[in-house]
Amino acid sequence: MSGTAVVIGASGGIGAALEEALRDEGTFDRVYGFARSRAGDQHLDLEDEASIAAAAAVVAKGPAPTLILVATGLLHADGHGPEKAMREFDPAWLARGFAVNTIGPALVAKHFLPLMTKGQRGVFAALSARVGSIADNKLGGWYGYRASKAALNMMLRTLAIEERRRNERSIVVGLHPGTVDTALSKPFQGNVQPGHLFDAGRAAVQLLDVIDGLKVPDSGKVFAWDGAELPF
């Protein structure tokens, strides 16, 4: 792919690895990395739409983006984590999860998708999760995270439909990276099967391989790190 690649959440474990892998591959004219913890032109806070618009304005000054990756997610923070039972349900924590996991990526799409050139292959991908699949939910629990990722999947499906009307070659997908050795998964790695905990560098390469293989009919779907389509 040529043009510009954009990584949102480039200070996180997977996001940083994606940014590094894209720069190392050298197939893009320019690679932008944005994150809440970065300053100046590289700052982007998913909970602040003005910062998202400002970041999009920075990208708009250069070659049109052909790859936009939203590599963010909120599972635990500030003493909060995934609920094991309904008695732990906290509406404020649920709202925070939706703000980061669902609304934030949708706002990125709102400001960044129009930058993609009509008639040219462009990929917009956001990190989803297998636990966001309603059909795959066999264990229960994790109410807020499951719900926010399921809502993200619906956002992506709906975005794909609208974006295809604007650009018939666009691809909008969700990506499940598997369990990656990052701060997000650290408290939950004890139950991971041997060989299924990926370092961030490997996860990034696997996701980029999936992206490279995407076709227009794949738009609106969710894919795992190995290319398998996940059910909604």
CA 155 to CA 113: how far, in whole Å?
Answer: 13
- pLDDT-based confidence at 200, cuts 50/70/90? confident
Average pLDDT over residues 60-87: 91
Mean pLDDT confidence for 105-118: 97
pLDDT at site 1: 54
Please give the pLDDT value at position 194.
57
Which helix (H) or strand (E) segment holds residue 109: the answer is helix 104-112
pTM: 0.91
pLDDT digits (tens, 9 = 90+) for 163-196: 999 999 999 999 999 876 665 544 554 565 555 6
Averaged pLDDT of the chain:
91
pLDDT band at 109 (very low <50, low <70, confident <90, very high): very high
**CA-CA distance, 170 to 163, in Å (whole number)?**
7
Segment 78-103 shows an average pLDDT of 92
pLDDT value, residue 118: 92
- HSE at residue 12, side-chain half, CA atoms within 13 A, is 26
pLDDT tens-digit map of 17-68 = 999 999 999 999 999 999 999 999 999 999 999 999 999 999 999 999 999 9
Angle in degrees, CA 103, 209, 148, rounded to 5: 20
Domain ranges of the chain: 4-230
Q: 4-230 — its CATH code?
A: 3.40.50.720
Tell me if residue 142 falls in helix, strand or coil: coil
